[in-house]
Amino acid sequence: MDEVCPQDIRAHDDQIGGCSAAHIARSGPASLPSSFGRAASRIRRSCHISATRSIPPLEILPDLRPSASSVFTHKMVNITYGVLQAPDGSSARSSAIANGTDIIVSYGPNGESVASYSPGDIGWVLTCTALVWLMIPGLGYLYSGLARRKNALHLLLLTLAALAVVSFQWFFWGYSLAFSQTSGAFLGNLRNFGYMGVLENPVSQAYNKVPEIVYAIYQCMFANLVPAIAIGAACERGRVWPFLVFTFIWTTLVYDVIACWVWNPTGWAFKWGVLDYAGGGPVEINSGITGLVISYYLGPRHGYGTERLLFKPHNVSYIFLGTAFLWFGWLGFNGGSVFAANLRAAMAISTTNLAASSAGLTWMLLDWRLERKWSVVGFCTGCIAGLVAITPAAGFVGMPAALLIGVVSAAVSNFATVLKGPMRVDDVMDIFSVHALAGYVGTLLTGIFAQASVANNDGNTVITGGWLDGNWIQLAYQLAYCVAVTSWCAGVTFAIMFVVDHTPFIGPFRSSEMGEVVGMDEDQCGEWAYDYAFINRDLEGNYKPDHGQTLDMHEKMPNVHQTDSLRSGADSGSQDNSNSQLASGDQNATSATTEAPATQTQA
């Protein structure tokens, strides 16, 4: 038996042109990227037919690669491998060469192959991009449900508006500052200002698996998410306009800098060998510390520490829905950070799901020991803490380590929620304990449990591992990295807030006392999340502020009128009454309703 090529190769080029399988067989492996050359060689080795049978020559198609005199710099060519048919009539489809997908090849100005991409990998990363985007409205629902009813719409607006601001910033210069290939160890430059040159070129930090435009839009979603997390600290007292300005400046001076440190191959943390798979520093610690600084700078809400501001989520269903969106999106957040559909992506998704599960159960059990109730809010909060902690570790650790990371992060964050009382920091959403502290836990434990064998599941990543692999110095690198991120984030964030707060026509950050009383929905949006609102304890007939004279609420809010007080347990015949009792827990609750366009809610 002699080794020969298949008898018949039917090549099907797509609409934009391509190189046929016949061209591959003619040119040999040397004319293609090494992976495709090896695949073509395997096809030739695997096809054996009788040497006595005559074989028609292969059809020779023209070489479609650009010549050196081409007027363009790069050309994207789709290569569709057709059916390989043997003389006996059997056929081996294109999966033998290209896993059943088209191959996108980028050629340089001299006809050389620059890079090749699988549309399967591109499709996977773009799908994960959409999943990460979904996390942002999930945050909005989570924050809205945790807040009081009169502030629900304000938080939905802030999270989605921050996305729009950062999307522009990322296009304008954010991507270039974080990921330009000529960056320094501290910050990038404006080489890719306005996405200049961001299209088909390979990206080394994505292992040359996807074109740069795909990498850029994926990283854009990460940049969008971080200020959306931190901006929840403005709950119930932050004005919209100053925070939108703050978001643009903060993303430029804080997020882009830290992302450059650890994810750009020229960054100092990257060169050190710091292990941060999907954003323990740039995303989690960064957002948690920023939330703490915002809460400290704004100061406590009026009435903080009194029964009037006891934590009472106004809509637990929103909390559940937001957590579901976050959990779902986080699978793409961590799964897409491999930039390919491979075993490492599957491992990252598996560890992410396990850490969230173990953390949610841990937090719920810790809350159960206090009140003997199975708290939905506690379970959701624990899940988020676990997702935060596994973010820097997902692509480096195995399943047992992920289970432990989830348990430890939930316990640390749960016990740390009481710290805001002695600190006198009104962190309404517990952003510091859930994001910063869980981020510390995940980043440090990565230095212990990271394994080279897990990281190499993609066939590209080579690390020295953590303590499990005998690399004892790794934990010190992780700790130094945490300190650097915390210091830079805290100092620069406070400076930005101070400058913006004292800038004419932008500041102040904080709303007026009357704005807090009537709620951010009315004060900042002029709209309500609901057609009715019970604002007992938050809005009473005459509100006596911390200082100054008594304020007449109905004189300040003419569209809100006071009705007869409702006694708990009275048969009101409406869901509104039960909502009022849930929010107050008092024997007597004062209700206020807004007039709908056509009908008026009757108590």
State the pLDDT confidence band at 101, using cuts at 50, 70 and 90. Answer: very low
Contacts of residues 35-40 at CB distance under 8 Å and 24 or more positions apart, as own/partner, are: 35/116, 36/97, 36/98, 36/103, 36/116, 39/96, 39/97, 39/98, 40/97
pLDDT digits (tens, 9 = 90+) for 143-152: 999 999 999 9
pLDDT digits (tens, 9 = 90+) for 422-473: 888 999 999 999 999 999 999 999 999 999 999 999 998 999 999 999 999 9
Alpha carbons 448 and 478: distance in angstroms, whole number: 10
Give residue 113's pLDDT: 64
E strand segments, 7-136: 8-10, 48-49, 75-79, 83-85, 91-92, 103-107, 113-117
Task: Give the number of other Cβ atoms within 10 Å of residue 372's Cβ.
Answer: 7
Rg over CA atoms, the chain: 29
Alpha carbons 454 and 580: distance in angstroms, whole number: 52
pLDDT digits (tens, 9 = 90+) for 519-534: 999 999 999 888 754 5
Residue 76: which of 250, 200, 206, 192 has the closest Cα?
200
Mean pLDDT of the chain: 78
> What's the token pair of residue 161?
């508006």
Alpha carbons 61 and 16: distance in angstroms, whole number: 16
Q: b/e map of 238-253 (b: 16 or more CB within 10 Å)?
A: bbbebbbbbbbbbbbb
Give residue 424's pLDDT: 84
Give residue 111's pLDDT: 65
Task: Give the number of other Cβ atoms within 10 Å of residue 453's Cβ.
Answer: 11
Domain 119-501: which topology? Ammonium transporter fold (1.10.3430)
Q: What is the DSSP string of 9-24?
A: EE----TT----HHHH
> What's the token pair of residue 544?
């006596």
- Domains of the chain: which residue ranges? 2-117, 119-501, 530-594
Give residue 547's pLDDT: 52
pLDDT digits (tens, 9 = 90+) for 69-82: 333 344 444 443 33
pLDDT digits (tens, 9 = 90+) for 375-405: 999 999 999 999 999 999 999 999 999 999 9
The secondary structure element, H or E, covering residue 263 is helix 256-263
